[in-house]
């Protein structure tokens, strides 16, 4: 099944590439995270919260770094799905992922409802 036409695939290819570049930059400059948009405060708080109880800024940076590494994995997987035309379909239920969700989180492998399930099982580096 192929939910996205060629121009949309091209669009998301660019989104993925841009996000990947951002994350790589972030990892290079970890400790200087000012480039992250303020409204992307992490909601993937399971390990984040554990870590953050004791210390503050340093562990926040660590959590962001872990988050970035994880998201890079997701981006790589998303690119493969883009190549084999399964991008945009939820890995769990196979439904098309809402385009606005893909715009916000181009690497996300799950639709909103499956994401909610996964966030209960194990933290995903996804914010919404
Ligand atoms: Zn789903």
pLDDT of residue 125 exceeding 70, the answer is no
Can you give the residue range of the structural domain that contains 108?
Answer: 6-33+42-121
First and final C-alpha spacing in the chain: 25
pLDDT 10s digits, 2-31: 568 899 999 999 999 999 999 999 999 875
Q: Structurally, how many domains does the chain consist of? A: 1
Q: Is residue 127 part of a domain?
A: no
As a whole number of Å, the CA-based R_g of the chain is 15
- Rounded distance from Cα 109 to ligand 1 centre (Å): 9
- Rounded distance from Cα 53 to ligand 1 centre (Å): 32
pLDDT confidence of residue 77: 97
Q: Is residue 14 part of a domain?
A: yes
Please name the residues in contact with 31: beta carbons below 8 A apart, sequence gap of 6 or more: 61
- Rounded distance from Cα 96 to ligand 1 centre (Å): 8
Q: Is residue 65 part of a domain?
A: yes
- In the beta sheet, which residues pair with residue 89? 96
The enclosing domain of 76 has a CATH number of: 1.20.120.910
Q: How far apart are CA 115 and CA 111, in angstroms?
A: 6
pLDDT 10s digits, 29-85: 875 544 444 445 455 555 555 555 555 677 878 888 998 999 999 999 999 999 999
pTM above 0.75, yes or no: no
């Amino acid at each position: 099944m192929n939910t996205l036409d060629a121009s949309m695939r091209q669009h998301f290819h660019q989104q993925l590439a841009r996000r990947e570049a951002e994350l790589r930059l972030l990892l290079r400059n970890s400790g200087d995270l000012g480039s992250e948009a303020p409204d992307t405060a992490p909601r993937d708080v399971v390990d984040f919260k554990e870590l953050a109880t004791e210390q503050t800024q340093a562990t926040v940076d660590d959590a962001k770094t872990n988050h970035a590494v994880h998201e890079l994995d997701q981006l790589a997987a998303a690119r493969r799905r883009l190549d084999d035309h399964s991008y945009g379909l939820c890995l769990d239920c196979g439904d098309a992922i809402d385009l606005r969700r893909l715009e916000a989180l181009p690497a996300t492998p799950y639709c909103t409802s499956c994401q909610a399930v996964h966030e209960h099982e194990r933290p995903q580096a996804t914010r919404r």
